[in-house]
Structure 1
Amino acid sequence: MSTSDVWLPFSPDDLSDLPGSFTYRHWDGEDDYPADPADCAFYVVPYMKRQDVVLRPLPLMTGVRVVQTLTAGVDHMLPGLPDLAPGARLCNAGPLHNTSTAELALTLTLAALRGVPDAVLAQREGRWAQGVHPALADRRVLILGYGNIGGAIEDRLLPFEVAEVIRVASRARTAPRGPVHATDELPELLPRADVVIVATPLTAATRGLVGAEFLARMPDGALLVNVGRGPVVDTKALLAELESGRLLAALDVTDPEPLPPGHPLWDAPGVLITPHVGGPTSAFRPRAERLLRDQLGRFAAGEPVAHVVAVGGRED
């Protein structure tokens, strides 16, 4: 190939067992590029950097063949698709975030159900505030976005003796643990769900999917957990349900994001908010390194890379 540079957001000296056929460049979103972007064949997108930063080199990467994100969602990269040459692959992180995101989904669910946010406030005030709270046991849980992360969430739900897991994805199919329903079945499924966990990526079809009609079909007292993307949920509609006291929510992602000071979500009753921390944990780095070794090994051997979500400037 005419281009042989690989741009990494980690120092190449910290990574072992990388194919020796490439020149590795370290770039984590700094103003200056480490080399001519035109020589980059494999671009690993810096993690948790602004969209304008990670898209900036793409128009100059005329020889790039693979753009590898370290995120499950690729919505932040979609505006750069027209800059990819025909045949270039955009890949997501595959299973990289399954473990950490599923852990957080369970953490938020348990904390919200068992009243942990109120207990923290009571502790600060020195109040011994006992009460009776819902258990996760015997709850019906609907997972919206039953892909890799959704499956990992179910793995962790089952030991808590939930009554039922309702799996929902863009299209109906059969998974190893049972049927996966299509999203057009949601009107019939939502009234059965005590907990709804959103793990779907952000697409044209999912933007605003969790809106007023969706929320109205959830039972009184139900919990909405979002570990997917903020704009999947209509913030105004969610606020109306929270302020009425009818629903609870636990959100790792919001719309807007970051949530600005003074936004009404901060003070809404019955909501627990974490600042988009589903992915960045101690589990991230070793799994990211394994992903990159595998993908670069495939690329060096002339084999198809995995986790391809778009090709040559257009969505698949």
Structure 2
Amino acid sequence: MASADVWLPIPPAEIGGLPESFRYVHWDGEEEFPADPARCVFYAVPYMKGQAVSVRPLAHMPNLRVVQTLTAGVDHVEPAVPKLPRGTLLCNARGVHDASTAELALTLALASLRRVPEAVRAQDAGRWEPGVHPALADKTALIIGYGSIGSAIEDRLVPFEVEAVHRVARTARTAPHGPVHALSDLPRLLPEADVVFLVTPLTDATRGLVDAGFLARMKDGALLVNVARGAVVDTAALLAELESGRLRAALDVTDPEPLSPGHPLWRAPGVLITPHVGGASSAFLPRARRLLRAQLRRFAAGEEPEHVVAVAG
């Protein structure tokens, strides 16, 4: 495959250790394509550039064999899979964002529970406002979407002396930390949880999962932490609970995204918002480089890449 191209959103020289079997092309979403897309066999999607940019070259890549995202979620690329050449593999970036996103999930939970946003506002106004606020210690956590990021969140919860951690995924199974419940168990588990972490991918089954009924089952004073996708949550239903003061929320993702300056979520009581930065930390590039090196070495050796989530067919 010496004449075949690999498109990378990171300059190849910055990755290093790439197999010599391919010609490497750097493209990070610019208007002009840097080479003929028809020569591309392995396309690594630009990071956080949106759906339109991500899928734009795909219609011009008839020889494509692998699409590699640098995100854990693939909802921005997956709709294009049916139109890809038969047998093309879609791979996600499992493992790349575990540390960074889990770290932010804990940061959001701790900051919200200990009322850090209120303390910052008081500091800005020069007010000294002591108080007694909830701790993460002795709380029950519920992790919905128990993949590698969900597991990494639990790893970081344990030292904070939580009372219990319940795990939920699409199907029930046993994980190293304990049993993983199916989504059908949520009605039973939600009333027990003090903090609910959303880490699930956005699929037809999870879009709008957190609706009015879901939120109504959460206990009074519980905290919802969303580091998944904004559309997993019904924004109107969440706003109603926030405005009543019954629940709190810490959101790295929203629906819509980005939020317009006048959106009511900005002003809702008890909400902390960060601008979709779960994976965007100094931990990203080293892990992304390692992933691309490993995937391309497997591909060059004629082996199937890891983390395949869909196959065109």
Q: Deviations over 1:141-200 (max 9, x none)?
A: 000001110000000000000000000001111111111000101001100000000000
Instruction: Please report how far the alpha carbon of residue 228 of structure 1 lies from its aligned counterpart in structure 2 after TM superposition.
Output: 0.3
Return 143-152 or 74-83, whichever deviates more.
74-83
Secondary structure of residue in 1 paired with 2:165: strand
Secondary structure of residue in 2 paired with 1:41: strand
Q: Deviations over 1:237-289 (max 9, x none)?
A: 00000000000000000000001110000000000000000001000000000
Q: Deviations over 1:47-102 (max 9, x none)?
A: 01021111111011000100000000000002211221111100000110000000
Residue in structure 1 matched with residue 129 of structure 2 by the alignment = 129
Return 304-313 or 252-261, whichever deviates more.
304-313
Listed as ranges, the matches of 1:231-250 within 5 Å are: 231-250=231-250
Percent identity of paired positions between Structure 1 and Structure 2: 71
The whole-number CA distance in structure 2 between the counterparts of 1:189 and 1:146 is 15
1:156 has 2:152 as partner: no
Secondary structure of residue in 1 paired with 2:272: strand
Aligned AA for 1:113? Answer: L
Aligned AA for 2:263? Answer: H
Report if aligned partners of 2:3, 2:23 keep a CA contact under 8 Å in 1.
no
Report if aligned partners of 2:229, 2:253 keep a CA contact under 8 Å in 1.
yes
Aligned AA for 1:255? Answer: D
The whole-number CA distance in structure 1 between the counterparts of 2:298 and 2:272 is 42
Report if aligned partners of 1:169, 1:182 keep a CA contact under 8 Å in 2.
yes
The whole-number CA distance in structure 2 between the counterparts of 1:136 and 1:275 is 23
Report if aligned partners of 1:198, 1:225 keep a CA contact under 8 Å in 2.
yes
Listed as ranges, the matches of 1:256-267 within 5 Å are: 256-267=256-267
The whole-number CA distance in structure 2 between the counterparts of 1:282 and 1:200 is 23
Report if aligned partners of 1:7, 1:24 keep a CA contact under 8 Å in 2.
yes
Report if aligned partners of 1:3, 1:41 keep a CA contact under 8 Å in 2.
no
1:68 has 2:76 as partner: no
Listed as ranges, the matches of 1:94-243 within 5 Å are: 94-243=94-243
Report if aligned partners of 2:2, 2:22 keep a CA contact under 8 Å in 1.
no
Secondary structure of residue in 1 paired with 2:204: coil
Return 83-92 or 108-117, whichever deviates more.
83-92
The whole-number CA distance in structure 1 between the counterparts of 2:214 and 2:175 is 24
The whole-number CA distance in structure 2 between the counterparts of 1:50 and 1:311 is 21
The whole-number CA distance in structure 2 between the counterparts of 1:14 and 1:200 is 32
Aligned AA for 1:51? Answer: Q
Secondary structure of residue in 2 paired with 1:76: coil
Report if aligned partners of 2:199, 2:228 keep a CA contact under 8 Å in 1.
yes
Report if aligned partners of 1:3, 1:40 keep a CA contact under 8 Å in 2.
no
Secondary structure of residue in 2 paired with 1:75: coil
Aligned AA for 2:15? Answer: L
Secondary structure of residue in 1 paired with 2:220: coil
The whole-number CA distance in structure 2 between the counterparts of 1:25 and 1:78 is 23
Aligned AA for 2:139? Answer: R
The whole-number CA distance in structure 1 between the counterparts of 2:44 and 2:56 is 13
Q: Deviations over 1:121-153 (max 9, x none)?
A: 000000000000000000000000011100000
Number of residues paired by the alignment?
313
The whole-number CA distance in structure 2 between the counterparts of 1:119 and 1:188 is 35
Instruction: Please report how far the alpha carbon of residue 13 of structure 1 lies from its aligned counterpart in structure 2 after TM superposition.
Output: 1.9
Report if aligned partners of 1:242, 1:269 keep a CA contact under 8 Å in 2.
yes
Instruction: Please report how far the alpha carbon of residue 312 of structure 1 lies from its aligned counterpart in structure 2 after TM superposition.
Output: 1.3
Instruction: Please report how far the alpha carbon of residue 3 of structure 1 lies from its aligned counterpart in structure 2 after TM superposition.
Output: 5.7
The whole-number CA distance in structure 2 between the counterparts of 1:133 and 1:196 is 18
Residue in structure 1 matched with residue 54 of structure 2 by the alignment = 54
Instruction: Please report how far the alpha carbon of residue 310 of structure 1 lies from its aligned counterpart in structure 2 after TM superposition.
Output: 0.6
